Structure 1
Amino acid sequence: MAIKVGCLFLLLLPLLSLSWADEITCLKTVSSCSQCMLSGPQCVWCTAPNFKRRCNTLSGLQKAGCDASHMYNPQGSVHVTRNDSSNEPTTGTLFLQPQQVTLHLRPGVSQSFPLYITVARNQRTPQLNMDTSLMPAEVNITFSNIRHGNMIVEVNVEASNCHKTSDNSTQDSTGPSFVHITPRGFLQSLKLEIILDCECDCKGNREENSPSCDGHGDLVCGSCECYQPYSGQHCQINVGSNFNRDDKTCRQGPNAPLCSNRGTCVDGECLCHSQENPNERYRGMFCECSNFDCPFHNNRYYTTICPYGCKSESLNTFHFLFRICGGHGSCECGQCICDNDWTGEDCSCTLDTTSCMASNQQLCNNQGLCQCGSCRCDPPYAGPTCESCPTCLGPCQTHAECVDCRVFGTGPKKDRCQDECNYLIVTKVGSKTYIDAPCKMKSREDSCYFYFSISQDREGIHCTAAAMKECP
């Protein structure tokens, strides 16, 4: 497989998993650290016991109060495992440093390192092509040539997912996989050992018979792994027990359905039913809450992911991104909890007013209201920012009578000038030659012409007027 230094090399990826290029948010319903890691490169897992939403972005966990010491957020690593030195190579050969590198890759997070290529001084060094041995389908390698002569080549490696290397492979792509990088025409090569970080290292910190799990399970990465026949968030339910307490404890009220018709009452506690879609869940003491019975916005489409394989081969190549609450919030117990800068029953209303800003830096030209990112203009104003008004008077006609009374004390508003025209900030100049694009208006009282211009800023409406009229 040939790759030219300085050129981007990109493998075509099979559509076996959701690409990191797609819009991804941290899944709120994952039950394990490993599922959280696979839901997106920006996702972090909180290992603190009894933490409600463990899988979130770094900022989300910080806001929720997860201490930094409990945050599991691997970003991969580069470790040089062989880096022998050598004298200058002879003609026809070259020398590579390092000779072997071990990479730990978290899907979606790239790792880079320099590859030093030394050639004999009397040997010409045209731009090299780089050959690679067969790579796992989910691994991409990019090269860039930083310096010619004794060259330094930047090697960038990234994995897209954690699926197996091929359909008939029995080796999980967590690794290790080995790839050789060889300058074309030479024998020396760099050996890459690639290990995908698809399982959480915090699993090694297992607390057996943990009190947090009621002594009936192990605490792993902050979550309980229950021993049989126990179940529940804290392994507090003996599923195999034939003794059932009064099922009143499984009802919200005297006549309420058992476990809201969404679960089974076991030993006086509700075990909520599982859904066909693993991302959809019931929860709560009475299974009264769900993360999917919330309003959808206009762009409704549903998730159908086949984590354990679909019956139809065609479904394996399609992914339907789960959208709910307009794609701008989470569904909590039948209500949308909107992200920052979004509101409304279905989180479809943005609080961002950028699209409502008129050219004068006023929201909706101060002639309407900005609602959900769109202007609702007061008649007769129209347009995206309420700056269009075909039937409105222009600024010259609108302000002429106030300019006449404020500057010259004449005109039809001279007797009520203080009440109706005090809004003008007036500046007088010697003549119309000092005014850019002046308005020329005729006074009704003396038939004389006067000249002025109008501008507006945050301070108000400004009038620059010539101090003298022109009379016929």
Structure 2
Amino acid sequence: MCNCYEGRSGNKCECDSKDTDLTTDEARCVFGNDTKPCSGRGICHCGVCECFTRQNPEEEVTGKFCECDNFSCDRYEGEICSGPEHGKCECGECQCQSGWKGNACECRDTNDTCIAPDSEQICSGHGECRCGVCECYESEDQRYSGRYCEECPTCPGLCEDLKECVQCIMFKSGPLTTEECTNCSFIPEEVNEAE
């Protein structure tokens, strides 16, 4: 067994350790609070990590402490970062291409697909655009649906919304007071159905 001179270390005294105040070369290969040298994905040689190679030649372990890789990122539909057209995996996180967002670069970075052709409102003002798709609002008595949250079969219709104003203005009846009646924002017209 080799007994190394001062400033040398390693099994064969091949390592230069005079520039470090750490007692072992292996200690120089530990990242942060990690307990394993080279993040458990490499070997420590002369205080420097040599990362293991993977069976798949496209997969790489990198970094000073072998802490990074290009294969442990989020996947979408079986593809890392939704495929190279959407993003690429760098140090365990997806770096999205322009026009894409999300943990796996699975979402378009625009709200255009949530705006109806004849509108300027996102999800018709009745939902939120998430990942390019409208998620419609729901409450106890209203449930919006449709591609742009434009439909609401459970919502009271326009007649129901305007009923109290019509009763007040046209028939001087209903729950509104005379003062509240003046706040109605329209003037109803009487229609004779016999004509």
Query: What's the TM-score bracket when you normalise by the shorter of the two chains?
Result: 0.5 to 0.7
The answer as to whether partners of 1:369 and 1:377 remain within 8 angstroms in 2 is yes
**Match status 1:273 vs 2:32:** no
Give the whole-Å Cα distance in 2 for the aligned partners of 1:396 and 1:368.
23
Alpha carbons of structure 1 residues 376 and 331: separation in structure 2 relative to 1, 3 Å: same
Q: CA deviation at 1:252?
A: 1.5
Q: As a proportion of its length, which structure holds more strand? A: 1
The answer as to whether partners of 1:244 and 1:266 remain within 8 angstroms in 2 is no
Name the counterpart of 1:365.
124
Q: CA deviation at 1:292?
A: 0.8
**Match status 1:393 vs 2:156:** yes
Give the whole-Å Cα distance in 1 for the aligned partners of 2:16 and 2:173.
93
Give the alignment of 1:212-251 within 5 angstroms. 242-243=14-15, 245=17, 246-251=25-30
**What letter corresponds to residue 271 of structure 1 in structure 2?**
E
Alpha carbons of structure 1 residues 344 and 276: separation in structure 2 relative to 1, 3 Å: same
The number of residue pairs the alignment matches comes to: 166
What TM-score, normalized by structure 2, do the two folds share?
Answer: 0.67
The answer as to whether partners of 1:295 and 1:325 remain within 8 angstroms in 2 is yes
Alpha carbons of structure 1 residues 280 and 403: separation in structure 2 relative to 1, 3 Å: farther
Name the counterpart of 2:97.
339
Alpha carbons of structure 1 residues 337 and 417: separation in structure 2 relative to 1, 3 Å: farther
Q: CA deviation at 1:408?
A: 6.9
Name the counterpart of 2:69.
290
Alpha carbons of structure 1 residues 367 and 409: separation in structure 2 relative to 1, 3 Å: farther
Alpha carbons of structure 1 residues 349 and 411: separation in structure 2 relative to 1, 3 Å: farther
Q: CA deviation at 1:242?
A: 2.5
**Match status 1:330 vs 2:102:** no
Name the counterpart of 1:350.
108
Give the whole-Å Cα distance in 2 for the aligned partners of 1:370 and 1:411.
43
Q: CA deviation at 1:295?
A: 1.4
**Match status 1:415 vs 2:179:** yes
**What letter corresponds to residue 399 of structure 1 in structure 2?**
L
Corresponding residue SS for 2:150: coil
The answer as to whether partners of 1:404 and 1:411 remain within 8 angstroms in 2 is yes
Name the counterpart of 1:119.
none
The answer as to whether partners of 1:248 and 1:254 remain within 8 angstroms in 2 is no
Kindly report the root-mean-square deviation, in angstroms, between the aligned alpha carbons of the 2 structures. Answer: 3.3
Corresponding residue SS for 1:326: coil
Give the whole-Å Cα distance in 2 for the aligned partners of 1:286 and 1:362.
49
Structure 2 residues without counterparts, runs of 5 or longer:
1-12, 18-24
Alpha carbons of structure 1 residues 370 and 411: separation in structure 2 relative to 1, 3 Å: farther
The answer as to whether partners of 1:272 and 1:282 remain within 8 angstroms in 2 is yes
% identity of equivalent residues:
38
Name the counterpart of 2:35.
256
**What letter corresponds to residue 383 of structure 1 in structure 2?**
G
Q: CA deviation at 1:247?
A: 2.0
